[in-house]
Amino acid sequence: MWRALVLFLLLPVWAQGDGGYLLGQILALDMARGVAQVRVAEGVQEALLPADGGGFRVGERVVLYQEGGRLYVTEPDRFPHLFLLLGLFALFALLLGRGKGFRGLLGTFLSLLVVVYFVVPRVASGGNPLLYAFLGSVGVLFLTVYLVHGVNRKTTAALLGTLLSVAFVLLLALFFTRAMGFTGLASEEALLLRQWGGVDLVSLYLAGVVVGALGALTDVTVTQAAVVQALSHANPRLGLWELYRRGMEVGYDHIGSLVNTLVLAYAAGSLPLFLLLTKDPTPLRFLLNTEPFAAELAHMVLGSLGLLLAVPLTTWVAALAFRGGRGGPPDHAHPH
């Protein structure tokens, strides 16, 4: 979902130059000749199809590329469906989340603005990816946590717990990236960036580890801070250690569910890479030792570690903030 939002935010930048791309609609297909009749702004023209036909249909809107006086059908026009999907997401967020759903959408939009218009341009111009990703992440955290949940002890405890977890993950990532000799060349995109030059690929990998953990981290930390706040409000006589202990009773359940959820979430995003394990004749021990596999596994474990550490760290910070009944009742509590 966030990728589609990034595409939307980048539209003003891309609109400055279409690079020979056009939008059109297929009117007829001639598979024997490998061409399609397409309607474009200038009228009806003939465009070459991919060698395998591409699976295009009559009436389908497509993206065309113009070069040397010829048109080529490249891909279906997916943006209408992407915007429909985004619209459904926004609608359900507003209907089910009400005020917080709206603030969540606004926080997401502002966070993507930070990434697209602050982090990406500075990294592209040669800035350190890790530095700007960390600065952008702090800005994103302030926007999302305080905007959605308000400025109070609960959100401040959640923010501090998140920052502590991110800092710990970053230190671990720095150590293990150096220890395992990562070069940052673990993907085709990284290889292309090396050809263009000007980007520190190792720092870019580290930035990806940090930013990748943020979304789930805020969810975990706000929940744990809310649990401690509710416990303190129910019994203001609870001390620091007792608040932490009782908060962690819920936290242990949270950790138990997170372990399974996180591994499946990361594994789902890496299925193409894992499928290569069944095709490559290299022994498994040595295949997993290659950077693409090792970097993906390290990313998975580091992100999961950050989420697991966020539970006790946030519980401790929240216990400090709410001990003795400080901070008042939870947001949903109403006086009788």
Asked whether the beta carbons of 78 and 67 are under 8 A apart, the reply is no
Predicted local distance difference test score (pLDDT) of residue 198: 66
Please provide the CATH number assigned to the domain covering 98-325.
Answer: 1.20.1640
Predicted local distance difference test score (pLDDT) of residue 59: 92
Token pair of 4 as six digits = 């589609």
pTM (predicted TM-score): 0.70
Instruction: Tell me which residue has tokens 């130059």.
Output: 17
Predicted local distance difference test score (pLDDT) of residue 319: 92
Predicted local distance difference test score (pLDDT) of residue 19: 58
> Given this chain, do its domains 2-77 and 98-325 carry the same CATH topology?
no
Predicted local distance difference test score (pLDDT) of residue 328: 62
> DSSP 3-state assignment of 25?
strand
Domain residue ranges in the chain: 2-77, 98-325
Mean pLDDT, 10 residues at a time, over the chain (336 residues)?
44 50 90 90 88 86 88 91 88 81 79 80 76 79 79 89 87 86 74 69 78 73 90 88 91 77 67 71 77 81 84 93 75 45
Q: How far apart are CA 118 and CA 110, in angstroms?
A: 11
Q: Which CATH superfamily is domain 2-77 in?
A: Nucleic acid-binding proteins (2.40.50.140)
Q: How far apart are CA 211 and CA 309, in angstroms?
A: 16
Q: How far apart are CA 88 and CA 92, in angstroms?
A: 6
